[in-house]
């Protein structure tokens, strides 16, 4: 089915719903919803949430202005879904790595580039809209196990996401994954992250060695850390926007904190050289020794809840 036919079919099913629009951005289809509390836009490719905005507030998420909305290329920003491995496959546990036979594989797994199916849009009430997408993963050279992935996004007074993995095959498989959230900040230099004090982290920029700090986190250079076995709320305190962003992960014990800063920013695709000033990634994840293994018919779900509070 071509793009126009896909959009027509989506309009036939969901176009009459209040606040729902189906949009085309160059080669990609996006579903946008708007209610009394908030608005959001999610792309079928990768089931990638690109924007969430509480009414009267600035966008919660950062999205690059250099996205080219091409098939097969994940957007830079929003909340990409990283599965069935996070980051560089070579840095994943053997239990995950040894399942893949190819030498060259994409970073962050394979589902960011695939077109998910929109399976439901539900106006829960005047302030809450729920969007459901699914991806039926077929065995391939890249990933030999069938699986059904489900994403449920609830757009309301806060943003809630639930990502579920179901093993639909007859063999067990292991995976790591993350909801790779890019948050929108006024200026990274003025931001403080609270809630990571005294939490052990792996510093991937310093030979993956373990470290810990009792101070609130401030970012003044490239940062790429995996905070381990976290619980509770993490706050991005952003005086420049006079707001806090509250991030609560669910069943995702690890949190990746990432900002590329000047040098890595220049090497990133669809990322303006100075854009690092305006974003900070806090990625709800389960990585390394928190990998998951599913037997046939078993399922796993993780999620997050984010909201902006005005300071
Ligand atoms: O979020 C951590 C990270 O693994 C960084 O090292 C950086 O590579 C980032 O993800 C973005 O990855 P991407 O493949 O989207 O360019």
In the predicted structure, residue 113 carries a pLDDT above the cut 90: yes
First to last CA, the chain: 48
| Residue nearest atom 4 in ligand 1 by C-alpha distance | 87
Section 248-266 average pLDDT? 97
Kindly give the distance from the C-alpha atom of residue 73 to the centroid of ligand 1, in angstroms, as a whole number: 14
Which of 45, 91, 106, 108 gets mutated to test ligand 1 (max ligand atoms within 8 A of its CB)? 108
Section 259-263 average pLDDT? 98
Instruction: Report the C-alpha gap between 310 and 304 in whole angstroms.
Output: 20
Section 23-35 average pLDDT? 97
In the predicted structure, residue 10 carries a pLDDT above the cut 90: yes
Section 53-70 average pLDDT? 97
Section 163-186 average pLDDT? 98
pLDDT value at position 1?
85
- CA 88 to ligand 1: nearest atom: 4
In the predicted structure, residue 231 carries a pLDDT above the cut 90: no
Q: What is the pTM of this model?
A: 0.97
Which residue is it, tokens 């619980």?
Answer: 231
Kindly give the distance from the C-alpha atom of residue 226 to the centroid of ligand 1, in angstroms, as a whole number: 12
| Residue nearest atom 15 in ligand 1 by C-alpha distance | 76
| Residue nearest atom 13 in ligand 1 by C-alpha distance | 107
Q: Which two tokens stand for residue 287?
A: 């990585």
Name the nearest CA neighbour of 133 among 162, 109, 110, 113.
162
pLDDT value at position 137?
98
Name beta bridge partners: 246: 235, 307
Instruction: Report the C-alpha gap between 162 and 151 in whole angstroms.
Output: 6
If pLDDT is split at 50, 70 and 90, which confidence band does 310 have? Answer: confident
Section 30-56 average pLDDT? 98
Question: How many percent of the chain have pLDDT more than 90?
Answer: 97
Section 233-239 average pLDDT? 98
In the predicted structure, residue 33 carries a pLDDT above the cut 90: yes
If pLDDT is split at 50, 70 and 90, which confidence band does 311 have? Answer: confident
- Contact status, residue 304 vs residue 230, Cβ threshold 8 Å: no
Section 72-98 average pLDDT? 97
If pLDDT is split at 50, 70 and 90, which confidence band does 56 have? Answer: very high
Which of 258, 260, 279 gets mutated to test ligand 1 (max ligand atoms within 8 A of its CB)? 258
pLDDT value at position 62?
98
- Contact status, residue 80 vs residue 112, Cβ threshold 8 Å: yes
Q: Which two tokens stand for residue 169?
A: 């095959």
Kindly give the distance from the C-alpha atom of residue 223 to the centroid of ligand 1, in angstroms, as a whole number: 11
Q: What is the mean pLDDT of the chain?
A: 97
Instruction: Report the C-alpha gap between 183 and 243 in whole angstroms.
Output: 12
């Amino acid at each position: 089915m071509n793009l126009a036919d896909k959009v027509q079919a989506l309009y036939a099913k969901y176009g009459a719903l209040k606040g729902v629009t189906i949009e085309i951005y160059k080669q990609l289809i996006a579903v946008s919803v708007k209610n009394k509390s908030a608005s959001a836009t999610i792309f079928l490719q990768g089931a990638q949430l690109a924007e969430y905005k509480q009414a009267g507030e600035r966008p919660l998420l950062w999205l690059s202005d250099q996205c080219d909305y091409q098939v097969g290329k994940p957007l830079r920003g929003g909340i990409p879904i990283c599965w069935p491995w996070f980051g560089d496959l070579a840095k994943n546990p053997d239990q995950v790595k040894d399942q893949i036979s190819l030498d060259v594989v994409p970073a962050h797994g394979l589902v960011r580039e695939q077109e998910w199916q929109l399976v439901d849009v539900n106006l829960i009430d005047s302030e809450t809209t729920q969007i459901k997408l699914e991806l039926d993963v077929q065995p391939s050279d890249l990933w030999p196990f069938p699986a059904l992935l489900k994403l449920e996004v609830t757009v309301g007074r806060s943003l809630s996401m639930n990502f579920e993995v179901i093993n639909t095959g007859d063999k067990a498989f292991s995976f790591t994954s993350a909801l790779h959230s890019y948050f929108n900040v006024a200026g990274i230099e003025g931001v403080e992250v609270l809630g990571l004090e005294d939490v052990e982290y792996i510093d991937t920029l310093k030979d993956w060695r373990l470290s810990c700090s009792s101070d609130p986190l401030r970012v003044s250079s490239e940062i790429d850390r995996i905070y381990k076995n976290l619980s509770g709320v993490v706050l991005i305190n952003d005086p420049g926007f006079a707001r806090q962003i509250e991030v609560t992960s669910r069943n995702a014990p690890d949190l990746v904190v990432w900002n590329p800063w000047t040098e890595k920013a220049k090497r990133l695709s669809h990322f303006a050289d100075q854009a690092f000033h305006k974003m900070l990634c806090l990625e709800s994840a389960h990585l390394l020794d928190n990998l998951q293994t599913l037997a046939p018919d078993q399922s796993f779900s993780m999620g997050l809840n984010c909201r902006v509070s005005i300071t």
